[in-house]
Structure 1
Amino acid sequence: MPRLADLAPATAQALELAGAIARGTLQHPDGEVLLAGRPEVLSRLRDLADQRLRSRPAEYDRVFGDLLALAGQYHWSAALENFADDFYTVPCPHCGAEVTIAIGAYGFYSAIRDWDRGDVERRELLPAQVEELPDPGRWMHATAVRDGQQRIAEGIRHLFGRAECPTCASAFSVADAYTSANLPPALETA
């Protein structure tokens, strides 16, 4: 990572590789050891990723994911797409039903996915109010707004908002349900 931090100001590929390494810590139980002991290197890489985002690069979505990974938000860096047509599957925390969450061009809703009929029994998502966004959602949203990335900012509000289960009608946090269903085993006990 120190070598990548030295190369990153001159080449976008070094920053991309550093983000991929940080994101890859999720794949291995001892992966975070790679990042330990040199917080100044991660800080420098985060600053470089943030500077790159401010220039609004064509690959904004990927660099945003790299920034999340370098900021220690490994889970969200691996989960987020670009909110153009994202779908997440989560179990309802109340009844266990498999709920599909759509965020993007197809709408902002929870539903039950039927392979023959598509998404049925749709319920509109309730986006989080900006002032009520929990961290890291608040920071993620502020970064996207700062950089004029409205689609990402709006997607984050919905991702950190609330959904209604079409099966039992209970409301739940989309982000909490997704995190519970997808947090890697190495981080579950942390």
Structure 2
Amino acid sequence: MRAAGGHGCDDLLAGCAEAIAEFRELLERHLRSRPDDYLTTFRDLVAVEGHYHWSAVLGDFSDDFYHVACPHCAVEVTIAIGGYGRYSAIRDWNLGDVDRRDLRPASPEVLSGIGRWMHETAVRDGEVVLADGIAHLFGQAECPRCASVFNIADDHPAVTLLPPAPAHTPR
């Protein structure tokens, strides 16, 4: 389901509204059972809701690194949400993530759209780590270069998931 979107696959889904609605209900029931494959099912449900991008890039927030461009100075900013912390930084392949700035998670009351729906679903199902990660992903970051504060997800629809950073020992 997550593959739909960018390659003309949406046309294939156009005549399947009833089947997609049934699939959505099946996914909802499966999520409420708190399955071992919760994240996979959650991402499938996000895709059924029509948010293919979030379905494809959303991680489990154990060690997720996202890449965005600062909307003010265009520098590449690494967003870390997981075991390494919750911060924005400049990625240096020799030094690791430098000039870290703490992220500012969105409060549930200010979330809207898909961010609110994903957060509420994760909370409903007791997925605390996922809900916390979504609050951070839809929160604000500070650019380490120009110090501007920006909304990570809403201002950056092209946010992409990066592979984990290699471990570096400071010199």
Determine the structure 1 residue equivalent to 2:70: 92
CA contact (8 A) 2:118 2:134 kept: yes
Please give the TM-score of this superposition, normalised by the length of structure 1.
0.81
Matched, 1:146 2:135: no
Select between 166-175 and 33-42 the one with higher mean Cα deviation.
33-42
3-state DSSP class of the match of 2:2?
helix
List alignment gaps of at least 5 residues for structure 2.
Answer: 161-171
- What is the number of equivalent residue pairs in this alignment? 160
Instruction: Select 2:88's aligned residue among 94, 102, 110.
Output: 110
Determine the structure 1 residue equivalent to 2:54: 76
CA contact (8 A) 1:110 1:166 kept: yes
Q: Which has the higher relative contact order, 1 or 2, with Cα contacts under 8 A spaced 6 or more apart?
A: 2
Q: Residues of 2 paired with 1:72 and 1:46: CA distance? A: 11
Instruction: Select 1:52's aligned residue among 3, 26, 30.
Output: 30
CA contact (8 A) 1:103 1:109 kept: yes
The 5-angstrom pairing of residues 114-133 of structure 1 reads 114-133=92-111
1:50–1:131 Cα change, 3 Å: same
1:125 is displaced (CA, Å) by: 0.4
Instruction: Select 2:145's aligned residue among 159, 167, 174.
Output: 167
3-state DSSP class of the match of 2:19?
helix
Please give the TM-score of this superposition, normalised by the length of structure 2.
0.90
1:25 is displaced (CA, Å) by: 1.5
Determine the structure 2 residue equivalent to 1:9: none
Determine the structure 1 residue equivalent to 2:163: none
CA RMSD of aligned residues (A): 1.2
Q: Residues of 1 paired with 2:91 and 2:97: CA distance? A: 4
3-state DSSP class of the match of 2:77?
strand
Determine the structure 1 residue equivalent to 2:18: 40
CA contact (8 A) 2:81 2:136 kept: yes
1 or 2, which has the higher helix percentage? 1
Give the letter for the 1:63 counterpart: T
3-state DSSP class of the match of 1:86?
strand
CA contact (8 A) 2:5 2:52 kept: yes
Give the letter for the 2:121 counterpart: T
Q: Residues of 2 paired with 1:60 and 1:85: CA distance? A: 17
Determine the structure 2 residue equivalent to 1:23: 2
Give the letter for the 1:74 counterpart: Y
Determine the structure 2 residue equivalent to 1:155: 133
CA contact (8 A) 2:153 2:159 kept: no
Give the letter for the 1:64 counterpart: F
Q: Residues of 2 paired with 1:143 and 1:94: CA distance? A: 33
4+ residue runs of structure 1 moved beyond 2 angstroms?
none
How many percent of aligned residue pairs carry the same amino acid? 56
